Amino acid sequence: MNRLAVLASGNGTNLQAVLDACVDGRLPAAQVVAVVVNHRDAYALERAQRSNIPTLYHPFYPYRQDGRSRSLYDADLAALLEPYKPDLIILAGWMHILSMAFLKYYPGRVLNIHPALPGTFPGMHAIERAYEAFQRGEIDHTGVMVHLAPDEGVDVGPLVLQREVPIYPADSLEDLEARMHETEHELYIEAIAKVLAQLVPNN
């Protein structure tokens, strides 16, 4: 059984997609063994608790307040996860750029999803920026990508899967967001299954 740890900062819809896929057979050889949130009000926390998944709260604010480094925060995060022996780290709206102090423990085992195609709209508010570009006549589609996170680059890394998402003339921003999120939930499960098929589980 492949052990997944999910890191989330917000609503946790991609976390829910993973939890559902572990139950309904789309990820039959996987289980979520821990969920980490860095905001106390993250709804992802409730989603995990409803599914009886162990949860960890690891906020960055106390580190920043005390002058402790981001690298120390990430090293402590790795230490928190170590007892759970995750085979794969799933970033599900994790609003924190992981440093090598964490990533070095999981080479080729940290997976991120971003609501844009490779090389377009890195960083925050990618869907809104794509919608604005569409309104300016610069693009007629956007997309979703899933990639490995081997280093501290923002929304770059070896591509696992990508899928184009059309933008229609009558779309509101909310219409596009709904279509993007639906694509995210499907594509992430496919990408996780693909990566897990290539991994040797930790024992």
For residue range 147-167, list pLDDT tens digits in order: 999 998 888 899 999 999 999
The pLDDT of residue 199 = 83
pTM: 0.94
Q: Is 58 a catalytic residue?
A: no
Percentages of the chain per state (helix, strand, coil), in multiples of 5:
40, 20, 40
| Cα 174-178-181 angle, rounded to 5 deg | 135
Q: Is the pLDDT of residue 202 over 80?
A: no
d(CA 30, CA 160): 18
The pLDDT-based confidence of 48 (bands split at 50, 70, 90) is very high
Q: Is the pLDDT of residue 196 over 70?
A: yes
Q: For the chain, where are the E strands, in sequence order?
A: 2-8, 30-37, 55-57, 88-92, 110-114, 141-148, 159-166
Question: Is residue 53 a contact partner of residue 19, using CB atoms and an 8 Å limit?
Answer: yes
The pLDDT of residue 10 = 94
Q: Give the residue-averaged pLDDT of 29-40.
A: 96
Question: Is residue 7 a contact partner of residue 94, using CB atoms and an 8 Å limit?
Answer: yes
In one-letter notation, the amino acid at residue 175 is D
d(CA 185, CA 187): 6
The answer to whether residue 172 sits within a structural domain is no
pLDDT in tens, 138-151: 999 999 999 999 99
The domain that contains 56 carries what CATH number?
3.40.50.170
- Residues paired with residue 6 on neighbouring β-strands, in sequence order: 35, 90
- Number of domains, the chain: 1
The pLDDT-based confidence of 52 (bands split at 50, 70, 90) is very high
Q: Is the pLDDT of residue 49 over 60?
A: yes
Question: Is residue 106 a contact partner of residue 87, using CB atoms and an 8 Å limit?
Answer: no
Q: Is the pLDDT of residue 201 over 70?
A: no
Q: Is the pLDDT of residue 72 over 60?
A: yes
Look up the domain containing 64 and give its range. 2-114+144-163+186-196
Give me the catalytic one of 39, 58, 96, 114: 114
Read off φ and ψ for residue 118, nearest 5 degrees: -55, 135
Q: Give the residue-averaged pLDDT of 128-138.
A: 98
- Residues paired with residue 30 on neighbouring β-strands, in sequence order: 2
Q: Give the residue-averaged pLDDT of 79-83.
A: 98
The pLDDT of residue 143 = 98
| Residue of 201, 194, 190 lying closest to 86 (CA atoms) | 201
The pLDDT of residue 153 = 85
Q: Is the pLDDT of residue 22 over 70?
A: yes
The answer to whether residue 11 sits within a structural domain is yes
The answer to whether residue 179 sits within a structural domain is no
Q: What is the mean pLDDT of the chain?
A: 95
Decide: residue 9, CB within 10 A, 0-12 exposed, 13-18 middle, 19+ buried. middle
